[in-house]
Each structure stands twice: as C-alpha cells, then as structure tokens.
C-alpha cells in the first residue's frame, strides 16, 4: 500500500480503477496475453527461419490475428503480415498506446476468438485474478467484462470520508486500505473496520463511549428516527461481522471472505452513515 493510498491523498476512484487503468494493471493483462497466447507461436526452421503465421502449429494464432484485423481493427486482411515479429510489434504498440476502455475491448475479443481448448475459461479466470489484485472495477462474467463497482458506490465512500469525524474516517480509510492492499489484502479485517466505523459514528452521535453497536442501535433509532428495517439490517451485518467465520475477532478458519464481501460491507456502512447524517439534520 503506497503512502498516497494509506493517508488518503489518492481518491477512492483512483484506488478502485473505474475510469482508468494504471501501468501495473495494463502490464499484468499484457503478461497474460504473452503467457496464454503469444508464447504459443511456433518457430519455423529452414531456409527462412523465424516465426510465421502460416507456420505449422500456428493455425490458432493465425485465426486470432485474422479475426483481429477483420472484425476488431477493421483493417484490410492483405495488410496482415505473415511475419509474427511484425504482427507482435503492431499488437504491442496498440495495446500500450490505446485508451483503457480499448484494452478491455481487446482482452474480451481475444478471450472470445482464440480457439484453443479450454482457453476462454482458463484465460478469463487468470484475468480476473489480475483485475482483483490491481483493484479494477471490472471482472469477466461469462466471457464478458462487466463492471462490479458502480460510480454511486464510490461516491458513497468518498462522501463519508470527506464529511465524517476522525474516528469514523480512520476506520473507513483503514477498511479501504486493507481491502485494496495489492500485496496482502485482508478482507476479514476490512469488514471489521467498516463495521467499527458505524459503531464509532453511532457512539459519537449518542455522545457515549460505552456499549457495542448491537446494544446502541435501538437507542440510535429512537433518537434520530432511523427506520427499524434499516436498523435491523445493520444489526444483522454487525452479527455477521461478529460471528461469521470469526471475522470481527480475527479468528482463523474463514477462507471464503473475498473482495466482493469486503466491498459490499464498506459500501453499505458508508451509505448507512450518509443516510443517518441526513436524518439527523432534518
């Protein structure tokens, strides 16, 4: 986790890559193309040694390149070189020079058109690993790159970070830090910090430092007119964080908590705090 991310000098939408793509993410996706596609090109030995699309065993890469030229780039097929070195150079220059949305277009097209046994499933799976590791807001779902983090969710997190008192903000910033650590993400403790932010907010609002969130929510509901259904939902979320796999208390043995869980709890807790602030101002 970089200094700018730990201490809030980098915005949430920059940490969770929604409308951009940083160098590590672009490099990671290119490396997967290299490992799963480009490295499979066979060399030809003879009078003109080298790697050629019409060489023996290169039928799949030739088909992919023809599809790219015909349907993706919309270029004349007679401009497609038989020399793989030249083709590779064009693909690389395009990949590292195009807009971030075009990278996703390219990756999606390759996944659909490289006709190797089980390629699509394997390739999209490893792509999702890189997308998660680099905090992309997108994933492959059934072969289609799909946004999993909406702008409204990011707006909720940013609003609460900008407008909350320090204890609340520190818990939420820590939650985001733990969730987005690219070297060693800690989703369980990210969830704990999100719930702790709500707990801190409720205590500050009630002007008390005693009790737990579960004990204080009924009083909070009565004092500020928060709907019972929403209070019940937060209590259930608190129970989940307290008991499910020992998340809240950091016990070992929970292997199922992932980015999706941590993001969901962070967004819900942020939205609850923002909503409650609005009710308190009425």
- Based on its alpha-carbon atoms, the radius of gyration of the chain, rounded to whole angstroms, reads 24
Tokens of 188: 């369980």
Q: What is the pLDDT of residue 249?
A: 44
Query: Which of 107, 128, 147 marks a domain boundary?
Result: 147
User: 3-class DSSP state for residue 40?
Assistant: helix
In a domain, 171, yes or no: yes
Same-domain check for residues 186 and 133: no
Query: Does residue 9 form part of some domain?
Result: no
Largest CA distance in the chain: 87
167 and 133, same structural domain? no
Q: In this predicted structure, what is the pLDDT of residue 282? A: 66
The pLDDT tens digits for 38-68 are: 999 998 775 566 899 998 889 999 999 999 9
Q: Which two tokens stand for residue 239?
A: 């129970």
Examine the domain organization and report whether 28 and 101 are in the same domain: yes
Between 3 and 177, whose confidence is greater? 177
pLDDT reported for residue 199: 93
How confident is the model over 103-144, as pLDDT tens digits? Answer: 999 999 999 999 876 898 999 999 999 998 898 988 998 888
Model confidence at 253, pLDDT cuts 50, 70, 90, reads: very low
Query: From CA 276, how far away is CA 247, in angstroms rounded?
Result: 25
Could you tell me the end-to-end alpha-carbon distance of the chain, in angstroms, rounded to an integer? 39
**pLDDT tens sequence across 152-163:** 888 888 888 888
Residues 183 and 113 in one domain: no
Check which CATH number belongs to the domain holding 225 and give it: 1.20.120
* Domain around 136: 17-147
247 and 133: one domain? Answer: no
Give yes or no: residues 155 and 141 share one domain: no
Q: Which residues, 6 or more positions from 109, have their beta carbon under 8 angstroms from its beta carbon?
A: 67, 68, 71, 72
Q: Does residue 2 lie within any of the structural domains? A: no
Q: What is the mean pLDDT of residues 23-40?
A: 96
Is residue 36, in this structure, part of any structural domain at all? Answer: yes
Q: Which of 21-30, 87-96, 223-232 has the lowest mean pLDDT?
A: 223-232
In a domain, 79, yes or no: yes
176 and 135 inside one domain: no
Instruction: Quote the number of domains for the chain.
Output: 2
Based on the fold, state whether residues 214 and 227 are members of the same structural domain.
Answer: yes
The predicted pLDDT at position 110 comes to 96
Assess whether 201 and 177 both reside in one domain. yes
Q: Do 266 and 172 contact (CB within 8 A), yes or no?
A: yes
Which one is predicted more confidently, 262 or 29? 29
Q: In this structure, are residues 20 and 44 in contact, taking their beta carbons and an 8 Å threshold?
A: no
- Statement to judge: residues 178 and 143 lie in one domain: no
How confident is the model at residue 248, as a pLDDT? 45
Q: Is the pLDDT at 7 greater than 50, yes or no?
A: no
Phi, psi of 233 (to 5 degrees): -65, -40
Last residue of a domain, one of 147, 175, 208: 147
Residue 260 lies in a domain: yes
Model's pTM, two decimal places? 0.67
In a domain, 124, yes or no: yes
| Residue 81 included in any domain | yes
Q: Are residues 134 and 254 in the same domain?
A: no
Residues 259 and 190 in one domain: yes
- Whether 111 and 143 have beta carbons less than 8 Å apart is answered as yes
Out of 98, 128, 147, pick the residue that ends a domain: 147
């Amino acid at each position: 986790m970089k200094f700018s991310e730990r201490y809030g000098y980098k915005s949430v939408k920059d940490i969770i890559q929604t409308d951009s793509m940083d160098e590590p993410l672009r490099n990671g996706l290119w490396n997967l193309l290299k490992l799963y596609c480009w490295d499979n090109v066979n060399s030809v030995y003879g009078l003109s040694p080298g790697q050629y699309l019409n060489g023996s065993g290169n039928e799949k890469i030739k088909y992919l390149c023809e599809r790219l030229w015909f349907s993706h780039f919309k270029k004349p097929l007679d401009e497609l070189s038989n020399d793989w070195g030249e083709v590779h150079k064009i693909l690389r220059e395009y990949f590292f020079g195009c807009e971030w949305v075009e990278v996703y277009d390219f990756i999606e097209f390759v996944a659909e058109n490289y006709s190797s046994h089980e390629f699509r499933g394997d390739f999209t799976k490893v792509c999702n690993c890189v997308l998660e590791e680099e905090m992309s807001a997108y994933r492959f779902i059934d072969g289609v790159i799909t946004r999993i983090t909406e702008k409204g969710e990011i707006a909720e997190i940013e609003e609460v970070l900008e407008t909350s008192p320090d204890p609340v903000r520190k818990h939420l910033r820590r939650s985001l830090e733990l969730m987005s650590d690219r070297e060693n993400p800690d989703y369980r403790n990210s969830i704990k910090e999100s719930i702790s932010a709500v707990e801190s907010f409720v205590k500050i609002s009630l002007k008390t430092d005693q009790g737990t969130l579960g004990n204080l929510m009924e009083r909070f509901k009565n004092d500020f007119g928060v709907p019972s259904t929403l209070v019940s939902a937060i209590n259930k979320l608190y129970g989940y964080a307290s008991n499910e796999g020992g998340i809240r208390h950091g016990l070992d043995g929970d292997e199922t908590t992932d980015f999706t869980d941590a993001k969901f709890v962070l967004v819900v807790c942020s939205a609850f705090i923002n909503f409650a602030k609005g009710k308190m101002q009425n």
